[in-house]
């Protein structure tokens, strides 16, 4: 196996790329690569075209090879659209296996940055990537996480509600927790009975509500979900039991 064959095997999988040149410097390895397909699809009319208008180079950060940073200089072609009625005269070929449109990092590096941001957050994730010789500032990682699609909302049957402090001693809201999945699902602006009742009326699937002994929550649940079973949550039961024992 030649060095070029090895580099080709280490390129993004199933990507139609051909290595033109490679250059090793003190900053890392730079690969000049080109797309090998003979045609491209217009993103507007989806019709193929083989008429090349021009080309330019994109610089993409890729995963390191061992401890060597890697950059891809991808030669991208611009095509004429062959469809007469298409509003797009020219278009740039897309290579989603390599990188998203206008991205400065390959798809696989973006996936690593996203998973690291989810697991460690911004600053800690950036330090971890730096130890792995991968680029990615804390802002980049947080931007990757924010760009993820919002997961589909669940339809909880059992919830817990409690107050949370926006500014302790001054302003409070209400947190709603899915007790089956053990994760927060909503934050309400205040802790009034009207707000709780309105939320429950919008979620008729709720059948069990765990809460503290606050009168506002009791009234909100009674009016918003009159058929739901109201349960005193474990923490407040133990708290009140301790206070009762200490008072004896």
Q: Please spell the DSSP secondary structure of 164-186, one letter per residue.
A: EEEETTTEEEEEEEETTTTEEEE
The yes-or-no verdict on residue 72 having pLDDT over 80 is yes
Residue 155: strand, helix, or coil: coil
H or E element in which residue 209 lies: strand 208-211
Phi-psi region of 87 (alpha: psi -120 to 50; beta: other; left: phi over 0): alpha
Considering the domain 158-242 in this protein, what is its CATH number?
Answer: 3.30.420.10
pLDDT band at 141 (very low <50, low <70, confident <90, very high): very high
Residue 68 has phi, psi (to 5 degrees) of -105, 120
Q: Residue with structure tokens 């062959």?
A: 82
The yes-or-no verdict on residue 151 having pLDDT over 80 is no
Reported pTM: 0.67
Name the token pair of 241: 């039991």
* pLDDT tens by residue, 15-60: 888 888 888 888 889 999 999 888 999 999 999 999 999 999 999 9
The yes-or-no verdict on residue 239 having pLDDT over 70 is yes
pLDDT band at 238 (very low <50, low <70, confident <90, very high): confident
The yes-or-no verdict on residue 1 having pLDDT over 70 is no
Q: Considering the chain, what is the average pLDDT of its residues?
A: 89
H or E element in which residue 203 lies: none
Break the chain into its structural domains and give their ranges: 1-104, 105-149, 158-242
């Amino acid at each position: 196996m030649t060095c070029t064959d090895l580099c080709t095997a280490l390129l993004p999988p199933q990507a139609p790329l051909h290595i033109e040149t490679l250059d090793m410097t003190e900053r890392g390895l730079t690969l000049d690569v080109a797309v090998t397909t003979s045609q491209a699809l217009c993103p507007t009319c989806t019709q193929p075209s083989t008429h090349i208008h021009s080309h330019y180079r994109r610089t993409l950060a890729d995963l390191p090879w061992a401890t060597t940073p890697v950059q891809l200089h991808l030669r991208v072609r611009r095509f004429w659209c062959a469809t007469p009625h298409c509003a797009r005269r020219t278009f740039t070929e897309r290579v989603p296996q390599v990188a998203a449109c206008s991205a400065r990092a390959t798809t696989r590096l973006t996936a690593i940055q996203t998973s690291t941001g989810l697991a460690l957050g911004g600053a800690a994730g950036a330090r971890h990537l730096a130890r792995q010789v991968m680029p990615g500032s804390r802002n980049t990682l947080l931007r990757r996480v924010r760009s993820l699609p919002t997961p589909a909302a669940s339809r909880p049957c059992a919830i817990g509600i409690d107050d949370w402090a926006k500014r302790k001693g001054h302003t409070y809201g209400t947190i709603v927790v899915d007790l089956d999945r053990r994760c927060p699902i909503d934050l309400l602006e205040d802790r009034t009975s009207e707000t709780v009742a309105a939320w429950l009326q919008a979620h008729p699937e709720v059948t069990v509500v765990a809460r503290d002994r606050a009168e506002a929550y009791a009234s909100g649940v009674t009016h918003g979900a009159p058929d739901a079973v109201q349960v005193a949550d474990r923490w407040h039961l133990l708290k009140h039991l301790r206070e009762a024992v200490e008072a004896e």
